[in-house]
Structure 1
């Protein structure tokens, strides 16, 4: 089918039309359900909200939807690679390139990162005794920027323009010389928009943690999830800014004919430097929040204070610092020379030291504790050996001479997934099960949760452990088939079986959600026997918490207050804190920005200018509606 828009002719193939039809049908079912159950007021409320719990819930909801899309892409990839010389109906080599591009990009930028930001939004203000994030309006803008970027990226498929350049977007493949369509432009603009939202959220989290802690909540008394969030926010601030610079230069190469990354005056290695200065800190942007979640969960379900708290904090800081000193280990085969390779091999090995310290701290936290094997605890325990395996292969890859053998093979794919899934995805599931009472007031069924955990963990190892072997046997990454007799049949088939096992585990998670909301009963403030301040407020957490504010005199203040059978102490003076007020402006502002970017992709400059003026107009309107000053002044008067 040919579609003409603003004079541009777009060819839409049959598989994309089928996806349109399916989406329209599913959307119709959703709309009918909304009208039937009268959920429109709830949707309108969430479109306008600036409350940290509701924003966090939206991050998790849409991040999870994108996670499912990326997971389906992964099943397509594994279906194609199940047997040699496969001709899976949807896959020609170009379709395969599109699918592994969308899989990686969705998982990193639109699934893992936003779901972690959602957990930070929900838990961190409660952990430090703040009523909300420092800038509630900016928090809403950050979420809707992520949402707009994610929708812009996904709509490319429905216009037969999905990017096919890998999640790394390597130049010169990503330049207009080699990918002349608009697919790569969708990649560039969607990551720019969502990345801007991530930077805004990072700034918000830094100010909140530094300025809005409850009286007595010293840095040495903060929960480890809050510590991990603070360091992660600083990493985001630097890493995503570097990525934005790279995307900006790539946009100029593609749209305006500059030659930063190709041609006689350009160099594609420049893109690699910019991308991996972002890319390796991004690994720890994903892992550090999960480390914080695991720390709090292991402490809670061991009924013990975290072992070696100062060492845990120091190791988080060191990991954050060293993460900016290792990016060249992704570029050992580029030709930077033995001296450069050796320096970055040493820094890569060094980062294993603070990570190893954390492993022993978690083990010693459990030693002698009264351990309860709840679903969040199982996900935390499953993380430890899985992540250690990823760490071991990481040390192997840090040897630059050996990396020439491992490079661009399935061994690297296996290592990457052992690090990311073992830390980030297991951490996200642990956090969702753990904080679900604070999100909804309900506790997910523990038995179904354990089915989810065991099937996911078994499927994970069955998928990626054989990839180490197939990689050593010569299976390259980014190829859509292999031949008979190469010794790769068994390992690839096992990996495919494992991937579908992980997919089946998600059915138990969905049924758990359905059953919990159908039959679940509301729980109180403290269903887990928690240790920190978030368990002192209601479930779900109310919009206006901590009035009056608590007084923190030690680590794990709620736990020790319960041991002494006393109430949490109340601060004599309140600290100025924000108040969240509903506003539709963040939604309108970011959707208009998305429309402007869409027009820029197709070079429709007149509507792009109109939408750009609309964005600027919304900023002007916002300038006359700042709810914070009046509230701050009133609160200060009350204190006095």
Structure 2
């Protein structure tokens, strides 16, 4: 080896700190390199399962009047195909790629919350396993991956099939929500020193915007799943039109998630393209700022398009015109990105290595999908093509073109980073052509069958309608595509085993990920770089050895601490020293306990679910154990003549940022619940209700006073951080006032009309339940904060516990007042319809 011995010694010391134990101790791994690879491997496995299900579907539809599958099994298969591809492959694959590569691209050593990332991984694996086992035993959901009501409601879907989807997918979505918080805080707070937002690699912008969309887009579906499960389990009529509900409420909540989901899937893949194309074009990306503006615009517009999927349900013409125009408008920021990529290639000297083949495949497939999307955005055409195979073709052109082809490009581009070996390129080229030709043969012909009137979601069709030969060719194309993916798998395995080794940066990229050794060590960088220009315009072959010799920040090992730097969110100026928690069994244990809660709910063992939930909460209280200090610390040396305070002594600690971002998603869930109540009042039949809350204004007074008082007492505790006695009295007051709020909410719940009688009472009950959960959590947080204060972990400088409590109490009080007012006002609003 050519590197000096000091670099070797530093590597060994850092590996001793960042390394993991053998055997079963591997389950304690928190490092982003390990978690990212596990996410990606699991997503590949689920992709193979989803692909196998698609082959079963094509086998069934290859010929008319096929008896290969019966209608019940077919419905389970096509439901699980969509569910696996959307929830168990696409989003988790993005999570895995981002978890593995984002710290490297940002020039740091890990993510902000390693234990949350590990907990999210296990939730994803356990939830996905529940869904797959249900399929194997014939208990899989059969109402479509969209789960439209009333088809998925109890009268039309008895048994646990629909419950498997509602609970299993919600379990998996825990992972996505936690990943969103992890990505946002990591990008804002844990970048290389000097990496301001305008110096951040473009992939970081894509992940930041995507994470924000996940934070806002997933709560409506989580809420819809909870409401539908409450209806199925306890007969609360949110979607029953005979009792004041409306099945269209499910469609609104689902597509408030479902249409942004398309862009949540596309944007990370577009980030991959914006990273790869400049490398193979041999010049920097053109239009960096234009792309940033475009993806922000795309994210904003994507939340105004959900009715795009509901043009035929009977909404007013003005709404049709608005959503049709918005659906066409979103093509503009998409086109901006495509034109900047083309311009980058046109101004460079493109090298057509295998990753660029898949980039070319993306351009072909995705542009076709985009053009058919513009067609479907037009209401007259959508009315004709709705629920036909034309829509199936469009969906696959967008999702496969916009995600799978870029991910295959990323696979061949970044696999050397994981393996330390280069691909031989012997199987990858024929694999590409098999996938490209097979995919177009499969789905281009579906445009024709759709225009000829073939509906989607049918398990068979009669002969003589002109669909026979088109469906047969589509099925042949599907199996050709599957052969191409099988060849990719063989090629990857051969690369792991026989690929030639290389030294560093084989593609001559300018991003920081190639400045790490390959395969990357668990600590990524032996020392952290200082960034003075765009983070995708460096020479890793020069920078890498400099960092390996410890000539950057934190170029040393001390106290077995896993150290990295926190920075100002905008300027990238280093502000604090962060020490990450050690490997732990707590994430997998807590995820397993959460899985027991889900299983208890699935099998209607509510007493068991309640016990498991209590134990799960107890497990979470163990997470902060061992974190924090009983004395104030002095600033510590971080290298290059700079000393920084520990992160729990700065106003915006990582825990504070995490709570702030999480409450953003929580607020979206609350607003979705409020939207649901107002939608039912405005549109649903059988309003106003016969029975309403009596003395409503009086009943909301006590919980309102409790919640507002707790928020005020929380601020008092924070303002008296330097006075231990006053601080502790204020924390005790916070807990007591939360208990007052709980008592008032319980009184209100028992005063409501029977929630099974009408959607008004059911919605009010849901609002009270939401507030009860938040008030209970607030009480636990204040009691736990008091315990940590008495144990010596809180002081005027070490006030992160107090700041987090203030955030939670303020949010609970605000949501409480709005929610309680809504309960009192819903009957009056309903009366205005008469």
**TM-score calculated relative to the size of structure 2:** 0.69
1:77 alignment partner in structure 2: 57
2:600 is matched with: 599
Q: CA deviation at 1:528?
A: 1.6
Q: Which moved more, 1:413-422 or 1:306-315?
A: 306-315
Q: Matched residues in 2 for 1:618 and 1:207: separation?
A: 24
Distance 2:221 2:34 in 1: 28
Is 1:530 aligned to residue 509 of structure 2? yes
- 1:388-443 superposed Cα distances (whole Å, 9 cap, x missing partner): 11010000000012111010000000000000000111122222222213323233
Match of 2:84 in 1: 106
Specify the alignment match of 1:288 in structure 2: 267
State how far apart, in whole Å, the 1-side matches of 2:429 and 2:581 are. 37
- Structure 2 residue 233 is the aligned partner of structure 1 residue 262: no
Number of the residue aligned with 2:146: 168
Residue 591 of structure 1 and its aligned partner are, at CA, apart by 1.6
User: 2:543 matched to 1:542?
Assistant: no
Question: Per-residue displacement from partner, 1:15-71 (whole Å, max 9, x unpaired)?
Answer: xxxxxxxxxxxxxxxxxxxxxxxxx97663542211111111011111111111111
Give the drift of 1:167.
0.5
Task: Confirm or deny: 8 A CA contact 1:127 1:532 kept in the other structure.
Answer: yes
Tell me by how many angstroms 1:501 deviates: 0.7
Q: Per-residue CA shift, 1:62-107, capped at 9, x if unaligned?
A: 111111111111000000000111111xx10111110000000000
1:552 to partner: Cα distance: 1.4
1:331-342 correspondence runs (5 A)? 331-342=310-321
Structure 1 SS opposite 2:311: coil
Matches for 1:84-95 after TM superposition, within 5 Å: 84-88=64-68, 91-95=69-73
Report the equivalent of 2:161: 183
**112-121 or 545-554, which moves further after superposition?**
545-554
Q: What does the per-residue CA deviation read over 1:594-628, in whole Å, with 9 as the maximum and x for residues that have no partner?
A: 122112111123433332233123212223143x7
Secondary structure in 1 aligned to 2:622? Answer: helix
Q: Which residue of 2 aligns with 1:355?
A: 334
The 3 A distance-change label for structure 1 pair 331 and 337 is: same
In structure 2, distance between residues paired with 1:635 and 1:321: 41
Q: Is the 8 A contact 1:53 1:439 kept in 2?
A: no
1:106 partner SS: helix
Residue equivalent to 2:41: 61
Instruction: Pick the aligned partner of 2:126 from 142, 145, 148.
Output: 148
Q: Output the aligned Cα RMSD.
A: 2.3
Contact residue 132 and residue 580 of structure 1 kept, 8 A: no
* 1:51 and 1:543 in contact (8 A); partners too: yes
Looking at structure 1, the residues matched to 392 and 635 of structure 2 have their Cα atoms a distance apart, in angstroms, of 53
Query: Which has the larger Rg?
Result: 2
User: Which of 371, 374, 382 is the equivalent residue of 2:361?
Assistant: 382
Instruction: Give SS of 1:209's match.
Output: helix
In the TM superposition, what is the alpha-carbon distance from 1:567 to its structure 2 partner?
A: 5.5
Return 423-432 or 106-115, whichever deviates more.
423-432
Alignment map for 1:173-322 (pairs within 5 Å): 173-264=151-242, 265-322=244-301
User: In 2 relative to 1, CA 440–104 (structure 1 residues): closer, same or farther, beyond 3 Å?
Assistant: same
Secondary structure of the corresponding residue to residue 145 of structure 2? coil
TM-superposed deviation, 1:635: 7.9
Aligned with residue 456 of structure 2, among 477, 485, 495:
477
Structure 1, unmatched stretches of 5+, are 1-39
Change (3 A) 1:251 1:557: closer
Alpha-carbon contact 1:130-1:577 (below 8 Å) kept: no
- SS for the counterpart of 2:144 is coil
| Correspondence list, 1:131-142, <5 A | 131-142=109-120
- Higher mean displacement: 412-421 or 562-571: 562-571
Task: Specify every segment of 5 or more residues in structure 2 that has no aligned partner in the other structure, as ranges.
Answer: 1-19, 555-564, 567-576, 644-834
Q: In structure 2, how many angstroms separate the alpha carbons of the residues matched to 1:164 and 1:443?
A: 44
Hey, what's the Cα distance between the residues in 2 that align with 1:142 and 1:521? 35
Which of 367, 370, 387 is equivalent to 2:346?
367
Say if 1:404 and 1:551 are closer, same or farther in 2 by CA, change over 3 A.
Answer: same
Higher mean alpha-carbon deviation, 508-517 vs 380-389, is at 508-517
Structure 1 stretch displaced more, 617-626 or 269-278: 617-626
Alignment CA distance shift 1:263-1:293 (3 Å):
same
Which moved further from structure 2: 97-106 or 560-569? 560-569
Question: Cα deviations across residues 355-384 of structure 1 (Å, max 9, x unaligned)?
Answer: 011111111111132222222221112101
Other structure's SS at 2:191 match = coil
User: 1:127-176: CA deviations, max 9, x gaps?
Assistant: 11121111111111111111111111112123321110100011111111
Match of 1:405 in 2: 384
State the shift of 1:447 in Å. 2.5
How much has 1:634 moved relative to structure 2? 8.6
Alignment CA distance shift 1:98-1:538 (3 Å): same
Question: Residue 126 of structure 2 contacts residue 592 of structure 2 at CA under 8 Å; is this kept in 1?
Answer: yes
Deviates more, 1:549-558 or 1:183-192: 549-558
The alignment partner of 2:623 has SS state of helix
Distance 1:565 1:441, change over 3 A: closer
Q: What corresponds to 2:467 in structure 1?
A: 488
CA distance in structure 1 between the partners assigned to 2:272 and 2:493 by the alignment: 25
Asked whether the equivalents of residues 51 and 580 of structure 1 are also in contact (C-alpha less than 8 Å), the reply is: no
Distance in 1 between residues matched to 2:545 and 2:524, nearest whole Å: 20
Report deviation, 1:458: 1.1
Q: How does 1:526-605 map to 2 (within 5 A)?
A: 526-556=505-535, 559=538, 575=566, 576-579=577-580, 581-605=582-606
Distance 2:291 2:333 in 1: 8
1:360–1:175: structure 2 CA closer, same or farther, 3 Å change rule?
same
Contact 2:511–2:540 under 8 Å retained in 1: no
Does 1:323 find its partner at 2:324?
no
Which stretch has the larger CA shift, 392-401 or 215-224? 215-224
Contact 2:120-2:179 at 8 Å conserved across structures? yes
1:558 positional shift = 5.1
C-alpha distance in structure 1 between counterparts of 2:521 and 2:543, whole Å: 26
Correspondence 1:96 to 2:74: yes
Q: Is the 8 A contact 2:358 2:408 kept in 1?
A: yes
Partner of 2:756: none
- How far did 1:334 drift? 0.5
Q: 1:293 & 1:209 partners in 2: Cα distance?
A: 17
Change (3 A) 1:361 1:43: farther
Aligned length: 598
CA deviation map 1:269-322 (0-9, x unaligned): 000000000001100110000000011111111111011111111111111111
Q: Which residue of 2 is the match for residue 617 of structure 1?
A: 618
